[in-house]
Amino acid sequence: KSVVAIVGRPNVGKSTIFNRLVGERISIVEDIPGVTRDRIYAQAEWLNHTFNLIDTGGIEIGDEPLLVQMRQQAEVAIDEADVIVFLVNGKEGITAADDEVAKLLFKSNKPIVLGVNKIDNPEMRETIYEYYSMGFGEPFPISGSHGLGLGDLLDQVVSYFPEVSGDDRDEDTIYFSLIGRPNVGKSSLVNALLNEERVIVSEIEGTTRDAIDTHLQKDGQNFVITDTAGMRKRGKVYETTEKYSVLRALKAIERSDVVLILIDAETGIREQDKKIAGYAHEAGRAVVIVVNKWDTVESNEKAMKEFETNVRAHFQYLDYAPIVFLSARTKKRLHTLIPAIKVASENHAKRIPTNVLNDVIMDALAMNPTPTMKGKRLKVLYATQVAVKPPSFVVFVNDPELMHFSYQRFLENKIRDAFGFEGTPIKIFARQR
């Protein structure tokens, strides 16, 4: 999917435009604390294109001076985006700060679309000619608050999208990624995996410039570690900011089937870990929780059990995810990782035949009577799997309103007990029949 970034100095209206373009999609259904607030990355649609949008204004870097911040935001856009929307304020004209950002964008060779915001009425359109002087071609007059002119701007944006080449993914390859806050050891773990014996490695540039996929083969199984770019070129200030690591995580999650959520055994679980993990769960990816730096902990069964209890308490919604303890530095227990990835991946793509599924559902119904509401009892007719990645089931019932959350959970547990979906979320929908 193409990535579009919005840049511009503060108060030009980046967030307003972001919210306009993203529309309702910004509120995500699932209620995981802390996950959905302060989005800087979301999906948007225009014509027949779906793309990802970044509001670089949301990436604040401590108390750096304004100019430094703007430069860094421009760098994020240049690193991450296929097309950049450069916003200026039509009420204020071109400022020195605008010029500063313009210079950086100019050098980037990325397509730039210049949006002149706050052109709230037609008379003001006369003023936009001065913006031709910025050298980005036609300036697009828009009004974020009134929602004007966005269509023309978006037409221009999508005209720069590369021809969709179709993601030629190999069915038999396992695509996975590593996410986690800065310094949990993502780069170290990638390197540890690659330096292992009997691993065959090749690097192939992804379709977008910043996505580097690393291919490896282990015991006859092909793997691709997606989005390792952020782990190779490092050292920019914004890479240590929380928002940026979330952004990277989102991009990595999008391109993989299995997501490794890294946790630092030395520092323990932090708020930011939960936020990042929430995104992987929301996206319906298979998940393996990796507790790295296990060499720093006195390793015994008891310590492991304790840490596991702690992880389970903090990541309740990830109860299906296996936990792997290892050290990227000493490579201790590293061999346990690949098998866990394989299992999660297999389960993520598993299909249950309808007759077998219904045997399990019927047993469950016999074991635990269906709930009633206002004298009406839920009747479950049959169930069928409608999708994989993640496995998704439709349960046909007399009235979906009667499917109480707790009963749905009970059915999910029965399905899990029967088919062992370790490592993957599963989805159940009640439909009327």
| Residue ranges in contact with ligand GDP by CB under 6 A | 180, 182-188, 231, 292-293, 295-296, 327-329
How far CA 128 is from CA of 131, 159, 220, 422, in Å, comes to 6, 22, 60, 58
Q: Are 38 and 132 in contact (CB under 8 A)?
A: no
Nearer CB in complex with ligand GDP: 103/234: 234
b/e map 164-199, b = 16+ CB within 10 Å: eeeeeeeeeebbbbbbbbeebbbbbbbebbeebeee
Provide the minimum distance between the beta carbon of 263 and ligand GDP in the complex, in angstroms, as a whole number: 11
Q: Residue 98 annotated as binding?
A: no
The least CB distance from residue 331 to ligand GDP, in Å, is: 9
119 has binding-site annotation: yes
Q: Closest separation between CB of residue 65 and ligand GDP, Å?
A: 26
Cα→Cα distances 316→257, 309, 310, 321, Å: 21, 10, 10, 10
Measured N-to-C along each axis, helices 66-80 and 96-107 cross at an angle, to the nearest 10 degrees, of: 30
Query: Smallest gap, in angstroms, from Cβ of residue 305 to ligand GDP?
Result: 20
Cβ distance to ligand GDP smaller for residue 114 or 291? 291
Minimal distance in Å, beta carbon 214 to ligand GDP?
14
Identify the H or E element spanning 358: helix 354-367
180 is in an annotated binding site: yes
Q: Is 46 annotated as a binding residue?
A: no
At position 267, the amino acid (one-letter code) is: T
Is 185 labeled as ligand-binding?
yes
Minimal distance in Å, beta carbon 179 to ligand GDP?
9
Contact 119, 141 (CB under 8 A): yes
For ligand GDP, the nearest residue by Cβ is 185
The answer on whether 13 is annotated among ligand-binding residues is yes
| 93: number of Cβ within 10 Å | 12
C-beta separation of 14 from 6 below 8 A = yes
57 annotated to bind ligand: yes
Of 184 and 352, the one with the shorter C-beta distance to ligand GDP is 184
Q: Which is nearer to ligand GDP, 128 or 249 (CB)?
A: 249
Residue number with CB closer to ligand GDP (73 or 188): 188
Q: Does the annotation flag 184 for ligand binding?
A: yes
- Determine the Cα–Cα distance for residues 122 and 286; give it in Å rounded to an integer: 51
Q: In terms of DSSP H, where are the helices of 196-348? A: 229-232, 242-254, 271-282, 301-314, 337-348
Neighbours of 386 (CB within 10 A): 12
| Choice between 10 and 182, CB closer to ligand GDP | 182
State yes or no: 229 annotated in a binding site.
yes
- In whole angstroms, the minimum distance from the beta carbon of 189 to ligand GDP comes to 7
User: 14 or 255, CB closer to ligand GDP?
Assistant: 255
359 is in an annotated binding site: no
Q: Give whichever of 18 and 294 is closer to ligand GDP, judged by the CB atom.
A: 294
Taking phi first (over 0 means left), then psi (-120 to 50 degrees means alpha), and beta for anything else, what does residue 407 get? Answer: alpha
Distance CA 398, CA 103 (A): 63
CA torsion 236-240-242-245 (nearest 10°) is 70
- Name 327's Cβ contacts closer than 8 Å, sequence gap at least 6: 292, 293, 294, 295, 333, 334
CB of 348: closest distance to ligand GDP in angstroms?
A: 24
Task: Give the residue numbers of the binding site for GTP.
Answer: 8-15, 55-59, 117-120, 180-187, 227-231, 292-295
Task: Give the residue numbers of the binding site.
Answer: 8-15, 55-59, 117-120, 180-187, 227-231, 292-295
